[in-house]
Amino acid sequence: QLLSFTQLRLGCTASKFIVDEFKKENPEVFFVSINASKQKDHPFIDKYKLFNTPTYVLINNHGEKIARRVGTFNSSYFKNFLT
């Protein structure tokens, strides 16, 4: 799973197009998007320390963090963890 923690800010909006392309290229990855403005009590915020936006966290099927990136989404960074 890839968690996406974003707000409607320039950095988040700019990454959206890159994330959408990543989704198309990796249909086996389940995406969870958390809107920081509207979902302030989401349990993943504390669990994965989602305090800055945008933050992207790749987790395995057991909910364990595999990779994390704060700032612009980098698809090649996350692809390295999908093998």
Q: For residue range 41-68, list pLDDT tens digits in order.
A: 888 888 888 888 888 899 888 989 999 9
Q: Note the pLDDT of residue 79.
A: 92
Residue pair 28/61 in contact (Cβ under 8 Å)? The answer is no
pTM over 0.85: no
Look up residue 33 and give its two tokens.
């998007």
pLDDT, tens digit (0-9, with 9 covering 90-100), for 63-79: 899 999 988 889 999 99
Q: Note the pLDDT of residue 36.
A: 76
- Paired residues of 55 in beta bridges: 5, 70
Is residue 4 pLDDT above 90, yes or no? no
